[in-house]
Amino acid sequence: MPAKNAPKKASRKSLGLLERLAAGPVICAEGYLFEFERRGYLQAGAYVPEVVLEHPQLVEGLHRDFVHAGSDVVEAFTYYAHRAKLKIVGRERDLARINRAALAIAKKVARSTGTLLAGDICNTSIYATDDAQSHKQARRIFDEQIGWAVDAGVDFIVGETYSFAGEALLALEAIKRAGQPAVITLSVPREGRMREGWTAAETCRRLQDAGAEVVGMNCARGPATTLPLLREIRAAVTCHVAALPVPYRTTPTEPTFQSLTDPSGASGPDGRPFPTALDPFLCNRYEIGEFGKEALALGARYLGVCCGAGPHHVRNLAEALGRRPAASRYSPDMSKHILFGNDKRLRQDYLEYARRNYRSPAASG
């Protein structure tokens, strides 16, 4: 393994994806769609990343926030910036412009921070197993987006969020035709199998055999319903394994964020929490840290968080893996809190008040 023989001082900056994975975990922050939707710069529904063209400085800022929080990868925000999705919002003519802009923004951040630059392709939203014409259209979508990514000089390409195994394989073929390292991640539907009926493990093995450097899961499932399938994937392949769940508390009966129902009866306007009323299900940062430890322990090294994630999740993931990203300078220090602290400079009568009025978890037995 090249990384092991590299001089101790070798900057991580000079290492590619596989060298970094050989040396330890690699963090890739995702979740740009949901974050910009919450902030009011992207529309839920079509979820096309128009913000890339309209507010490029915000996209650059979020890339920087995620790197600050510990991401080793800057993933170009080209998710759903493909022909089929742009057509839905009447912006097909902006196809090249939005891809080139997203890649340029990501490249600027990656090259100035010593992180890896990833191109991104995803589910086409038009693929169907028995529709040969859709396969042709999917190939075109992949080839043109990969072309722009290669032009930008990406370090590798992510193909993500596939629930059809066949579509994931087409994406991989396209990445391999372009001679790029491939990270392919599956969004495993509620039923626990790909849309063709293949298991995630079987699909990942086929992806590995077809040349994928990293295979695994992203999106759709929260940590609790990602980890069991991840274990099966780990046992089925010898290549690197990826895990980028959504930060939501999914359950065995509601294993995907699309299937969650709110016990309080609250929901979004179309009768379900997904996608804009998921707040009560959000994992806290410590749960994401725990997920990172468990995923690493079972042998997954390419780790991140998908839709719903904020920089605080990424920072705790990084810290759980033993890192101290720049944002850790501001990690919590409750010793200075006016009610729950213990610093001698604090008003002691406040602390006494809190001791009387807020039972500590230890005391509540």
Interface positions with Zn ion (CB under 5 A)? 219, 306-307
Q: How far is CA 332 from the centre of its chain?
A: 24
Residues 6 or more apart in contact with residue 14 via CB below 8 angstroms: none
CA-CA-CA-CA torsion sign (249, 251, 257, 260): negative
Q: Report in angstroms how near the CB of residue 235 gets to Zn ion at its nearest.
A: 25
Contact status, residue 237 vs residue 204, Cβ threshold 8 Å: yes
Please tell me the distance from the alpha carbon of residue 283 to that of residue 276, in angstroms, as a whole number: 15
The H or E element containing residue 186 is strand 182-186
Q: Report in angstroms how near the CB of residue 68 gets to Zn ion at its nearest.
A: 21
Neighbours of 165 (CB within 10 A): 23
Q: Report in angstroms how near the CB of residue 309 gets to Zn ion at its nearest.
A: 8
Contact status, residue 226 vs residue 187, Cβ threshold 8 Å: no
Q: Report in angstroms how near the CB of residue 36 gets to Zn ion at its nearest.
A: 13
Q: Which of 155, 150, 151 is nearest to 174 (CA)?
A: 150
Smaller CB separation from Zn ion, 18 or 51: 51
Q: Which of 333, 355, 354, 337 is nearest to 346 (CA)?
A: 337
Please tell me the distance from the alpha carbon of residue 201 to that of residue 218, in angstroms, as a whole number: 14
The H or E element containing residue 350 is helix 348-357
Q: Report in angstroms how near the CB of residue 222 gets to Zn ion at its nearest.
A: 11
Q: Report in angstroms how near the CB of residue 187 gets to Zn ion at its nearest.
A: 7
Smaller CB separation from Zn ion, 86 or 122: 122
Smaller CB separation from Zn ion, 75 or 319: 75
Read off the DSSP letter of residue 218. E
Smaller CB separation from Zn ion, 175 or 307: 307
Smaller CB separation from Zn ion, 236 or 250: 250
Contact status, residue 280 vs residue 266, Cβ threshold 8 Å: yes
**116 DSSP β-pair partners:** 73
Q: Report in angstroms how near the CB of residue 329 gets to Zn ion at its nearest.
A: 28
DSSP string of 129-142, one letter each residue: TT-HHHHHHHHHHH
Contact status, residue 264 vs residue 280, Cβ threshold 8 Å: yes
Smaller CB separation from Zn ion, 148 or 257: 257
Q: Report in angstroms how near the CB of residue 28 gets to Zn ion at its nearest.
A: 12
In Å, what is the CA distance from 354 to each residue of 11, 343, 351, 357, 362?
A: 47, 14, 5, 5, 14
Q: Report in angstroms how near the CB of residue 52 gets to Zn ion at its nearest.
A: 17
Smaller CB separation from Zn ion, 149 or 244: 244
Smaller CB separation from Zn ion, 121 or 306: 306
Q: Report in angstroms how near the CB of residue 132 gets to Zn ion at its nearest.
A: 29
CB-facing half-sphere around the CA of 62: CA atoms within 13 A: 24
Smaller CB separation from Zn ion, 50 or 75: 75
Smaller CB separation from Zn ion, 34 or 148: 34
